[in-house]
Amino acid sequence: MTLDVVFLEPCFPANQREFVRALHAVGARVTGIGERPKESLDPALRSWLTHYEQVGNVTDEAQVERAVRWIQQRVTVDRLEAVVESHVMAAARVRERCGIPGTSVKTTFLCRDKPAMKEALREAGVSCAQSIGSADVAELRAFAARVGYPLVVKPRDAAGASGTVRVDDDRELTKALADFGVGRGRSVAIEEFIEGHEGFYDTLTIGGRVVHDFVTHYYPNVLEAMRTRWISPQFITTNRIDAPGYDEVKAMGQKVVTALGLETSATHMEWFFGPKGLKFSEIGCRPPGVRTWDLYGAANDFDIYKEWAMAVVHGRPSQRLSRRYSAGIIALRPECDGHIVGYEGVEEIQRRFGGAIMDMHLPAPGTPTQPVEAGYMANAWIRMKHPDYDELRGMLDVIGRTVKVRAR
């Protein structure tokens, strides 16, 4: 039986088209709902889509619902899928209103609202940082007094470290609350700052069971990486995931999936390990960002987008992961804000590590720089893979010391 799948926003970001390609490849009829005119879609993307509906805003539930109901007058919509953090709630609400199976509004809310997520997970026995969500300044100050500094302040529904700040005293907390608009109707999440190494655990789940998983390490932790210009941050997915040391991370991940009611979905989970042991940080009911799935595919010799599509359309896995490589990315920051003027050290690292380099992005001279906090792919970057995790990490460290991005 051929399934009809509606996919929210097939055009942007750029790798969205890979999900459409994969759905088409496993036999689904795919209808896209996006913001760009149909004429702007490239020929390959058009060939993978049975139909395309343009809307003004894919996060506007009313617009998406109108488009889906129009589609439902013509076909039975079996699935409605969204894989971008800012799209998942609109998709969940439209699913429920239109009677389409998939991740529920409750589960989507729990995967986005940090305080509610942590409350649900603590009740399920998952160890998390102490946290609170509130729009009440006095309540937030009382939490700070009880838990102590440092603390982390973030939007309740932020993705990753977006908008997140660390506060170390009452003065910094006062400023952060004012900047977030607390006291003027805005609510924030505040969490205990957890000392330790940070990583993430990503999965493909089918029927609530993890069928594929990946462990990735940050160097340094995200909050430091996104706030410090001189650091060339990196993250590396390991091919040693079957080592006993990762058993606790895997068990925690399955426990989180079960507790939040996830069924068939990609997931992205952040965790810390330090003096207080393993602590769960947060989850998204969607794939990781920064094209991390490209690293997983390259590291494991498989088409991860097609495997996601098999889960959605056929409810089963179809490929084995080789675990042949570790793979990672290093972000290369301009020395200052302004415009790129050139690079140093690129030829040297190509000579030394060319066989391990997957690809690189070096914006042309004259390109405006992006701020440090814009993320790992905002400016220059290099991606690599190698069979030995430690060797790969050493190579990325050398690149961070060698390649200079000049700007003025």
- The pLDDT of residue 158 is above 70: no
pTM for this entry: 0.92
Q: How far is CA 258 from CA 4, 203, 251, 264, 265, in A?
A: 27, 13, 11, 11, 12
Instruction: Give the helix, strand, coil percentages of the chain, each rounded to 5.
Output: 40, 25, 35
User: Residue 32: phi, psi to the nearest 5?
Assistant: -100, 145
When mean pLDDT is compared across 190-194, 376-380, 401-405, the lowest value belongs to 190-194
User: Are the C-beta atoms of 378 and 330 separated by less than 8 Å?
Assistant: no
Per-residue confidence (pLDDT) for residue 49, from 0 to 100: 98
Question: What are the residues whose beta carbons fall under 8 Å from the beta carbon of 270, sequence distance 6 or more?
Answer: 160, 198, 199, 200, 280, 281, 282, 283
Count the Cβ atoms, other than its own, within 10 Å of residue 318: 13
- Secondary structure class of 100 (helix, strand, coil): coil
* Percent over 70 (pLDDT), the chain: 99
**To which residue do tokens 């040391």 refer?**
245
Query: What are the start-end ranges of the H helices in 260-366?
Result: 292-300, 304-314, 346-353
pLDDT for residue 159: 61
Cβ-Cβ contacts under 8 Å for 109 (sequence gap 6 or more) = 89, 116
Total Cβ atoms within 10 A of residue 124: 12
Q: What is the pLDDT of residues 345-374, one digit of tens each?
A: 999 999 999 999 999 999 999 999 999 989
Average confidence (pLDDT) over 264-286: 96
Written as six digits, the tokens of 220 are 């340094």
Angle at 383 between CA 380 and CA 384, to 5 degrees: 145
pLDDT (tens digit per residue) in 192-225:
998 999 999 999 999 999 999 999 999 999 988 9
Domains of the chain: 4-102 (3.40.50.20), 130-192 (3.30.1490.20), 197-407 (3.30.470.20)
What residues are paired with 130 via a beta bridge? none
pLDDT of residue 185: 82
